[in-house]
Copies of this chain bind each other. A is one copy, B any other.
Amino acid sequence: MNAGQSCDPPVVVGVDVGGTKLMAVALRGEEVLGAAKVPTPASGLGVLDAIVNLVDDLESAGFLTDALGVGAPGLVDLEGRLRFAPNLADADGLELRAELGSRMGLRRSGLLDRKAGGPSRPDQTMGSQGPDIVIDNDATCATAGELALGAMRGVRDGLMVTLGSGIGGGIVVGGNLFRGAHGFAGEVGHMVIDPGGPMCACGKRGCFETYASGNALAQLAREAAQAGRGAAILERAGGSIESLRGEHVTQAAAEGDSEAEALLARLGWWLGLGLANLAGIFDPQMIVVGGGLAEAGEAVLGPARLAFAELIEGARFRPPIPIVAAALGEKAGAIGAAVVARRSLLRARRAAMTGDG
């Protein structure tokens, strides 16, 4: 524990582990000191190494990380273990907190080589202990980010849904993150909305994320291409149906391709259905939509709002519930992971000061 060793504003690094990329930011106060991203490695151990390297990259700007927050997709328990991660290869049971702790500690002490090109400077301040490390669910982190610095500032009861490779969710109750009895709350992507629907990576059929995630959009594009439609989309994937990804669709839609717009509208309808389900259950003040797919903006949010109004129980009898894009964009998860880690660090420092005093 580094608690109590400094009164300077801490520098915290947040890493968002997505299905396709790892995004990292360094945060001091509300200032983003730097950001970096790499493709998601194909194994859990690869993810650990990539996180350590991202921290190294960011620290080459000349600071030392006081705390590290990592947002991971799936069931993250309160001890920082990734119990189940359907959208991440070879990562079920990964001891994220413990493994990162030992790697960061070794790296700090100089016993583990820093990445080629990185500065070699054994840590004088911290000894061989790494930074404080906090692991949480990726969408919970994104929600923490939007709550602290983004679209949910000041919100008491709100929801965030992140559209990445899968779909995650974060719940705000009384102005605080709600984590549930075991830390697993907010797994909205595996709400079954059609028991006869497509197979999901989790092993069930018809989960929300089989209809409204980045992977779902890629699947829509593949089906269109197989039917001979969507030439402008397919072109962006180099003509290879297997290579089609959601971002090829959002890029084509951004340039006005009508087939791409139609696919986003179809996805938006399912998004609206899922959000209507969630709003009926929670009755939030507002819903924030984040994740890579939210970059499609109104092309997906417009149709989602129409479907939401059609599908929420008693729409004309209740106040409207705004559905807005995440203010922090694709960095919401990483910034939020940093926010979560900083909160934990400051709590530990306060506890240590009280103990000293």
Contact = CB atoms under 8 A, between A and B. Distances in A.
A184 B188 CA distance: 19
B195 A194 contact: yes
A63 interface: no
B277 A183 contact: no
A105 to B, nearest CB: 27
A106 interface: no
B318 A83 contact: yes
A74 interface: yes
A276 interface: yes
Contacts of A86: 313-314
Contacts of A117: none
A188 B191 CA distance: 12
A26 B311 CA distance: 39
A283 B195 contact: no
A278 interface: yes
A193 B93 CA distance: 30
A259 interface: no
Nearest to A285: B181
A314 B75 contact: yes
A169 B319 CA distance: 20
Contacts of A328: none
Interface stretch (A29-37, A45-53, A172-180): A172-180
Contacts of A9: none
Q: Report whether over half of chain A's contact residues are helix, strand or loop; otherwise say mixed.
A: loop
A22 interface: no
Nearest to A277: B191
Contacts of A196: 194
A252 B84 CA distance: 42
Contacts of A169: 281
Interface in A312-340: 313-314, 317-319
Given A192-B277, A193-B192, A195-B193, A92 B185 contact: no
A326 B191 CA distance: 24
A195 B273 contact: yes
A187 interface: yes
Contacts of A156: 181
A111 interface: no
9 contacts: A83-B317, A84-B318, A93-B317, A173-B178, A179-B283, A182-B283, A193-B193, A204-B311, A207-B313
Interface of A: 74-75, 83-84, 86, 92-93, 156-157, 169, 171, 173-174, 178-188, 190-196, 202, 204, 207, 273, 276-278, 280-285, 311, 313-314, 317-319
